[in-house]
Amino acid sequence: EVQLVQSGGGLLPPGGSLRLSCATSGFTFSSYAINWVRQAPGKGLEWVSTISGSGDTTYYADSVKGRFTISRDNSKNTLYLQMNSLRAEDTAVYYCAKDTNILVASWFDPWGQGTLVTVSS
Amino acid sequence: DIQMTQSPSSLSASVGDRVTITCQASQDISNYLNWYQQKPGKAPKLLIYDASNLETGVPSRFSGSGSGTDFTFTINSLQPEDIATYYCQQYDHLPITFGQGTRLEIK
């Protein structure tokens, strides 16, 4: 069974930093791109970032480019999202989601359980 | 960015009804369109990929169609467990974009 289990999250002040993790199992991790998608409270889904299976290629939404860094450790089957210079508008539930493609984002299945990041003073 | 416009934004229907949600892309995205179901407090779940392909394990009452800019998602014979918000998503061009969602309620 494919599983994505997230950790991290919490309450941070504006300007703070945080690293989210997404531990995976049940599939050949390095063969798939992985994505981060977020959802602000009561709002819709927003794609944040994608990393290729090898980790060599990354993509970001303009809203997080230069502040967030996606990475992966293929020896640990784990995905990360380093979030710096956090803003109030980054407050959201963050989901990791396995892609069906190795290089670029396509469709996301399955998703992690989500982790709440709250940025507030 | 490609804008995805879903309609309606909310919908109330009775058990057994046929429900249709539309998604319009701001430019041609071929068939690079997916549909997700999100129940309250849960992660989204993939239902349909590439506009019309039913994900394994998803009930056959769910279906999708369309190509280019206009897409349709249908639930035949609505069930109580289908209460959720539904999202379309395009992956033809980065950034990946989602529709604003359609909240489905049971009458």
Distance CA A95, CA A105 (A): 14
For residue range B66-102, list pLDDT tens digits in order. 999 999 999 999 999 999 999 999 999 999 999 999 9
Nearest to B103 by CA among B49, B55, B41, B39: B39
Distance CA B34, CA B65 (A): 10
Phi/psi class of residue B82: alpha, beta or left (left: φ > 0; alpha: ψ in -120 to 50)?
alpha
Whether A110 contacts B38, CB under 8 Å: no
CB pair distance less than 8 Å for B96 and A111: no
Distance between B79 CA and the closest CA of chain A, angstroms: 23
A45 closest CB neighbour out of B44, B46, B91: B44
For residue range B3-48, list pLDDT tens digits in order. 999 999 999 999 999 999 999 999 999 999 999 999 999 999 999 9
By the 10 Å C-beta count (0-12 exposed, 13-18 middle, 19+ buried), A51 is classed as buried
CB pairs under 8 A between A and B: 61
Counting Cα atoms < 13 Å in the Cβ hemisphere of B88 gives 35
Per-residue pLDDT of chain A (121 residues), as tens digits, is 999 999 999 999 999 999 999 999 999 999 999 999 999 999 999 999 999 999 999 999 999 999 999 999 999 999 999 999 999 999 999 999 999 998 888 999 999 999 999 999 9
The set of long-range contacts for A48-56, using a CB threshold of 8 Å and a minimum separation of 24, is A48/A81, A48/A94, A49/A81, A50/A99, A50/A104, A50/A105, A50/B96, A51/A79, A52/A102, A52/A103, A52/A104, A53/A29, A53/A102, A53/A103, A54/A30
Relative to beta strand B102-106, strand B10-13 is: parallel
Query: Which amino acid does the sequence have at B7?
Result: S
Interface residue of B1, B23, B39, B91 to substitute, partner A, most A CBs within 10 Å:
B91
CB pair distance less than 8 Å for B100 and A44: yes
Distance CA B63, CA A5 (A): 29
Which 3 state secondary structure label does DSSP give A31?
Answer: helix
Distance CA B54, CA B50 (A): 9
CB pair distance less than 8 Å for A44 and B101: yes
Question: For residue B93, which residues of chain A lie inside 8 Å, CB to CB?
Answer: none
Distance between A84 CA and the closest CA of chain B, angstroms: 21
CB pair distance less than 8 Å for B44 and A46: no
Question: For residue A97, which residues of chain B lie inside 8 Å, CB to CB?
Answer: 44
What's residue A103's pLDDT? 85
Nearest to B100 by CA among B20, B42, B18, B23: B23
Residues in A lying within 8 Å of B, measured between beta carbons:
35, 37, 44-47, 50, 59, 61-62, 95, 97, 100, 104-114
B87 - beta bridge partners?
A: B36
Distance between A99 CA and the closest CA of chain B, angstroms: 11
What's residue A72's pLDDT? 98
